[in-house]
Chains A and B, each alone.
Chain A
Amino acid sequence: MRALLLLLVLCASLAPASAETLITSLSNHRVLITSNYTGTSIAVFGAIERDAQTVSRATAYDAVVTVRGPSQYLVVREKEQVGPVWINQEQQKFPIAPAYLGVLTSRPVDEITSPQLRQRQKIGLRAIIDSPEFTNTREGADRPFRDALYRLKEQEGLYLQDERGVTFLTPSIFRASIPLPATAPPGNYDVEVALLADTVILARTITHFELVKTGFEQQVGDVARDWSAFYGLATALVAVFFGWSANLIFRRD
Chain B
Amino acid sequence: MPVSVLLILGMGAAVGFISGLFGIGGGFLMTPLLIFLGIPPAVAVATQSAQIVASSTTSSLNALRRNALDLKLGAILVAGGFIGSVLGVWFFAAARRAGQLELVIVISYVTLFTVVGSLMLKESIREFWTKRKGGSVRLRRRAGEHAPYLGWPLRVRFHRSKLYASVLPILGLALFVGFAGALLGIGGGFIMVPALLYIFRVPTTVVVGTSQFQIVCTTLVALILHAVANQAVDIVLAILLIVGGVFGAQFGSRAGRYLRAELFRFLLALLLLAVGLRFAMELVVHPDEPFSITVQESRV
A, B assembled together: yes
Per the bound structure, the CA–CA distance linking A253 and B296 in Å amounts to: 52
Please tell me which one of the listed residues B249, B293, B298 contacts residue A76 in the complex, with CB atoms under 8 A apart.
B293
Contact yes or no, A242 B54, CB < 8 A: yes
Per the bound structure, the CA–CA distance linking A151 and B297 in Å amounts to: 20
Nearest B-chain residue to A79, judged by Cβ: B290
Contact yes or no, B51 A231, CB < 8 A: no
Given known contacts A70-B299, A187-B300, A229-B227, A239 and B291 CB-to-CB distance under 8 angstroms: no
C-beta contact mask, B213-234 vs A, less than 8 Å → 1, else 0? Answer: 0001000100111111001010
Nearest A-chain residue to B227, judged by Cβ: A232
Please tell me which one of the listed residues A188, A235, A240 contacts residue B227 in the complex, with CB atoms under 8 A apart.
A235
Instruction: Tell me the A194-213 residues at the B interface (CB within 8 Å).
Output: none
Nearest B-chain residue to A86, judged by Cβ: B287
Per the bound structure, the CA–CA distance linking A86 and B281 in Å amounts to: 10
Could you tell me the distance in whole angstroms from the C-beta of A235 to the nearest C-beta in chain B?
A: 5
A145 contacts partner chain B, Cβ-Cβ < 8 Å: yes
Contact yes or no, B227 A239, CB < 8 A: no
B235 contacts partner chain A, Cβ-Cβ < 8 Å: yes
Per the bound structure, the CA–CA distance linking A156 and B56 in Å amounts to: 38
Residues of B near A91 (CB, < 8 A) are 99
Per the bound structure, the CA–CA distance linking A217 and B24 in Å amounts to: 32
Given known contacts A76-B293, A220-B236, A85 and B224 CB-to-CB distance under 8 angstroms: no
Contact yes or no, B236 A217, CB < 8 A: yes
Per the bound structure, the CA–CA distance linking A227 and B250 in Å amounts to: 35
Nearest A-chain residue to B110, judged by Cβ: A85
Interface of B: prevailing SS: helix
Contact yes or no, A72 B225, CB < 8 A: no
Given known contacts A220-B235, A244-B57, A229 and B283 CB-to-CB distance under 8 angstroms: no
A247 contacts partner chain B, Cβ-Cβ < 8 Å: yes
Q: How many inter-chain contacts with C-beta < 8 Å in the A-B complex?
A: 164
Contact yes or no, B233 A224, CB < 8 A: yes
Please tell me which one of the listed residues A71, A149, A238, A250 contacts residue B235 in the complex, with CB atoms under 8 A apart.
A238
A191 contacts partner chain B, Cβ-Cβ < 8 Å: no
Contact yes or no, B227 A231, CB < 8 A: yes
Contact yes or no, A88 B300, CB < 8 A: no
Given known contacts A236-B223, A242-B243, A186 and B284 CB-to-CB distance under 8 angstroms: no
Contact yes or no, B61 A77, CB < 8 A: no
C-beta contact mask, A61-97 vs B, less than 8 Å → 1, else 0? Answer: 0000000001111111111110011111001010000
Add 14 more A-B contacts to A228-B228, A247-B57 (CB < 8 A): A72-B296, A80-B290, A84-B283, A185-B298, A224-B227, A224-B231, A232-B223, A240-B54, A240-B220, A243-B58, A243-B61, A246-B55, A246-B246, A246-B250
Q: Which A residues lie at the B interface, using CB under 8 A?
A: 70-81, 84-88, 91, 93, 99, 144-145, 148-149, 151-153, 185-188, 217, 220, 224-225, 228-229, 231-236, 238-240, 242-244, 246-247, 250, 252-253
Interface CB pairs A-B, < 8 A, 10? A79-B291, A84-B283, A86-B284, A186-B300, A187-B300, A225-B231, A235-B233, A239-B54, A243-B246, A244-B57
